[in-house]
């Protein structure tokens, strides 16, 4: 069962008796999942499961749904805010999709390229990871990537991201929908950030805000993504292509592009390319966190040639895994995405920096 097909099932786009039968099956499993989530949260709420504090401020960035909601750009944004205010920061994440315990996953590689001075510790045991980061790097703050459901580690601020283009996972928890836990869990959030507001009409953003406000009194912040250029991986050795390292979108319109991705929300990436009016002649999607092998790269090049494309475009997360400036004779670029908070920025900045008021007073 492929992921795209399953998404068509849960969204209701896939029609026919077989699709209806699968939806019934998923419905039958949903109460089991919902009970398991309720029981686990109840244990933490009542104190029957311990919440462990660490010797640094912990800022959790998470979401309610599976798939991409913009957590990595938010991690970058928070980390850079802390750096600008002379606070040392480390990142902790599970490391989902890594080849082994010693190899960073694609998200860690992307964060390394964007935040080279920020230590990043990956470990399924987030408490152990945070303690290791604090001990080795003496950080003031831990940014906990994808931490909303990982309740064993205490946090000082819970930031929850909601994707405006599919805010509530088709209205159902897993496996019938994409919600990792019910919408009512937003009551645990300290701040809710609605991402990708540029992907939908203003009335849909307003409806999402109202739905969130019905569950929590937490501040609601609005964010969007912008793309102004494409960039290329460069080896330390002499480059093998005449293409520049970075090209503005305006100059990219002359190319014939073929897109590929292995991310949680490929629709958003492809929508960005369409909005930028790039001449994209075809695309291939791989499973989130997929590790590209030589066979995959050959498949991409063959498909690009068949489509008549002379350039390849992917996401930053994909490019750091490939670590090359071309695949075959096709140069490969990544779309440079910038994250912008356009409503509520002052409020979220203040909430974050207030955590360190005592520390600043002692300096």
The answer to whether residues 122 and 152 belong to one domain is: yes
Return the pLDDT at 363: 57
The per-residue pLDDT of the chain, averaged, comes to 92
The answer to whether residues 62 and 192 belong to one domain is: yes
Identity of the highest mean pLDDT range in 4-13, 93-102, 175-184: 175-184
Is residue 184 within 8 A of residue 38, CB to CB? The reply is: no
Return the pLDDT at 8: 87
Residue 242 has pLDDT above 50, yes or no: no
**Range 249-258 average pLDDT:** 93
Quote the CA–CA distance of 271 and 273 in Å, as a whole number.
5
The answer to whether residues 70 and 33 belong to one domain is: no
Phi, psi of 197 (to 5 degrees): -65, -20
Quote the CA–CA distance of 110 and 270 in Å, as a whole number.
19
The answer to whether residues 135 and 242 belong to one domain is: no
Answer whether the bond into residue 164 is a cis peptide, omega within 30°.
Answer: no
The answer to whether residues 323 and 354 belong to one domain is: no
**Range 77-88 average pLDDT:** 97
The answer to whether residues 239 and 182 belong to one domain is: no
Return the pLDDT at 178: 95
**Range 93-116 average pLDDT:** 82
Is residue 51, in this structure, part of any structural domain at all?
Answer: no
Return the pLDDT at 241: 45
The answer to whether residues 246 and 332 belong to one domain is: yes
Tokens read off for 197:
């507001």
Residue 114 belongs to domain spanning: 57-219+344-362
- Quick one: which of 54, 78, 65, 59 has its CA closest to 144? 59
Reported as a single tens digit per residue, the pLDDT across 308-337 is: 999 999 999 999 999 999 999 999 999 988
Looking at the structure of the chain, the number of domains it has is: 3
Please give the C-alpha separations between residue 205 and each of 161, 222, 274, 280, 357, in angstroms, as whole numbers.
13, 9, 21, 28, 33
The answer to whether residues 84 and 193 belong to one domain is: yes
Is residue 163, in this structure, part of any structural domain at all?
Answer: yes
Quote the CA–CA distance of 304 and 311 in Å, as a whole number.
8
Residues within the annotated binding site? 65-72
Residues within the annotated binding site for ATP? 65-72
Is residue 223 within 8 A of residue 193, CB to CB? The reply is: yes
Q: Which of 105-109, 202-206, 239-243 has the lowest mean pLDDT?
A: 239-243
DSSP states of 217-258: -S-EEEEEEEEEEEE----SS--S-SS-SEEEHHHHTTS-EE
Is residue 52, in this structure, part of any structural domain at all?
Answer: no
The answer to whether residues 113 and 232 belong to one domain is: no
Is residue 58 within 8 A of residue 327, CB to CB? The reply is: no
pLDDT band for position 68 (cuts 50, 70, 90): confident
The answer to whether residues 81 and 166 belong to one domain is: yes
User: Virtual CA dihedral for 59, 64, 70, 74, nearest 10 degrees?
Assistant: -10
Phi, psi of 288 (to 5 degrees): -55, 135
pTM of the model: 0.89
Return the pLDDT at 179: 97
Is residue 332, in this structure, part of any structural domain at all?
Answer: yes
**Range 115-123 average pLDDT:** 95
The answer to whether residues 267 and 170 belong to one domain is: no
Greater pLDDT, 211 or 247: 211
Greater pLDDT, 22 or 69: 22
Q: Which of 188-192, 213-217, 248-252, 258-262 has the lowest mean pLDDT?
A: 248-252
- Quick one: which of 260, 272, 262 has its CA closest to 311? 260
Please give the C-alpha separations between residue 28 and each of 13, 23, 31, 286, in angstroms, as whole numbers.
20, 9, 7, 29
Quote the CA–CA distance of 253 and 22 in Å, as a whole number.
42
The answer to whether residues 214 and 296 belong to one domain is: no
pLDDT band for position 102 (cuts 50, 70, 90): low
């Amino acid at each position: 069962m492929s992921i795209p097909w399953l998404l068509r099932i849960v969204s209701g786009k896939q029609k026919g008796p077989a699709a209806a039968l699968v939806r019934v099956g998923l419905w039958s499993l949903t109460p089991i999942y919902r009970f398991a989530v309720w029981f686990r949260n109840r244990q933490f709420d009542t104190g029957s499961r311990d919440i462990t504090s660490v010797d640094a401020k912990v800022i959790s960035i998470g979401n309610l749904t599976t798939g991409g909601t913009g957590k990595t750009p938010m991690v970058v944004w928070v980390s850079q805010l802390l750096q600008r205010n002379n606070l040392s920061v480390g990142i902790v994440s599970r490391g989902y999709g890594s080849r082994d315990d010693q190899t960073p996953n694609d998200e860690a590689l992307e964060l390394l390229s964007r935040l080279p001075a920020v230590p990043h510790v990956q470990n399924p045991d987030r408490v152990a990871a945070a303690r290791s980061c604090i001990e080795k790097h003496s950080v003031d703050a831990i940014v906990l990537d994808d931490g909303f459901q990982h309740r064993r580690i205490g946090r000082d601020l819970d930031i929850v991201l909601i994707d405006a283009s599919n805010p509530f996972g088709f209205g159902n928890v897993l496996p019938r929908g994409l919600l990792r836990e019910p919408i009512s869990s937003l009551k645990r959030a300290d701040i809710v950030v609605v991402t990708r507001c540029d992907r939908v009409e203003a009335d849909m953003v307003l409806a999402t805000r109202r739905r969130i406000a019905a569950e929590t009194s937490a501040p609601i912040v609005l964010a969007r993504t912008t793309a102004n250029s494409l960039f290329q991986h460069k080896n330390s050795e002499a480059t093998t292509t005449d293409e520049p390292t970075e090209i503005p979108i305006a100059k990219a319109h002359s190319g014939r592009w073929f897109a590929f991705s292995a991310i949680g929300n490929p629709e958003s990436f492809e929508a960005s390319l369409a909005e930028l009016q790039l001449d994209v002649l075809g695309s291939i999607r791989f499973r989130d966190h997929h590790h590209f092998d030589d066979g995959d790269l050959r498949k991409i090049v063959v498909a690009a040639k068949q489509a008549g494309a002379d350039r390849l475009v992917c996401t930053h997360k994909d490019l750091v895994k490939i670590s090359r400036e071309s695949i075959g004779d096709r140069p490969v670029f990544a779309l440079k995405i910038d994250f912008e908070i356009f409503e509520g920025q002052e409020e979220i900045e203040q909430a974050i920096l207030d955590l360190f008021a005592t520390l600043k007073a002692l300096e």
